[in-house]
Structure 1
Amino acid sequence: MSGKTDDEQRLRDLALLRRVRDRIDREYARPLDVEALARGVNMSGGHLSRQFRLAYGESPYSYLMTRRIERAMSLLRRGDMSVTDVCFEVGCSSLGTFSTRFTELVGVPPSVYRKQAAGELAGMPTLLSKHVSRPIRNREAPAPESRLA
């Protein structure tokens, strides 16, 4: 009897976690923190963080930052906004944190990405360019190879 209620609770928790993930996807540019997300689904911040990591392999904060970086990449590819404007547009309040996280996920700083993306992805269909340029999750980007051979 206990196994059935455990399974039901797990399904309820997964539904709540999907609501949190969907909220992050929708509201990535708004100020979001784990406590606010947890309140929205009547969980504690610690419980939400643990369950989210178990379900999705990363913390809610990491997922939020990945969403923000994905959107920033798209805005930087357009080329009509400065890195600072992109940082604030995607909901980051610190240019330093934004640049650090961007570099960790993408492998190059946002300013370098903006310059490279202008040439490399020019003329590529949007759907394909999003797939090709998607940030790396759950691990850092590989270090650029040294050309000092």
Structure 2
Amino acid sequence: MDLETLVLMRRVRDRIDREYARPLDLESLARGVHVSSGHLSRQFRRAYGETPYQYLMTRRIERAMTLLRRGDLTVTEVSLAVGCQSLGTFSTRFAELVGVSPSAYRAAGAEVLPGMAPCIARRITRPVRNREAGAATAP
């Protein structure tokens, strides 16, 4: 992959990181870097190992995990706060990445302890990508 393409893919990834809670679709992401949606999807997967949609959902689930640990919002409110329009899609994707439902995750309590370094907290709470939650928790 050439440097120019990598720069474009980084722009797309940065936009997803900034605007994860907004409605984002492949076409608007592609327009933002002046490529076709098919080209964007192929190149993004090549650069990052997942499609832009998968990456977006991972970002949303990461944020949702933080909001659920806080405990002051319902699962529906968290789903809407991270930009998911469908509670069913949110719950399904959450379970795929985290290994438990959003309600079960919130009920289990925070894994993060007061005073824990942010880098450690981020590492232990990061969702597993690409449907590997079951494989990651298996002995």
Fold match (TM-score > 0.5): yes
Identity of aligned residues (%): 67
Matching residue's letter, 1:121: V
**2:61 is the alignment partner of 1:69:** yes
Q: Which runs of 5+ in 1 are unaligned?
A: 1-6
Q: Could you say what the CA RMSD is over the residues aligned between the two structures, in angstroms?
A: 1.7
**2:102 is the alignment partner of 1:104:** no
Shift, 1:124, TM fit: 5.5
**2:124 is the alignment partner of 1:132:** yes
State the 4+ residue runs in structure 1 displaced beyond 6 angstroms.
Answer: none
Q: How many residues align?
A: 136
Which of 17, 41, 51 is equivalent to 2:33? 41
Report the TM-score when normalising by structure 1.
0.85
Match of 1:79 in 2: 71
How far, CA to CA, are the matches of 1:83 and 1:26 in structure 2?
22
Which structure would you say has the larger Rg?
A: 1
How far, CA to CA, are the matches of 1:124 and 1:79 in structure 2?
19
How far, CA to CA, are the matches of 1:137 and 1:126 in structure 2?
23
Report the TM-score when normalising by structure 2.
0.91
Residues 45-69 of structure 1, C-alpha deviations (whole Å, 9 max, x = no match) = 0000000000000000000000000
Residues 93-114 of structure 1, C-alpha deviations (whole Å, 9 max, x = no match) = 0000000000000000000000
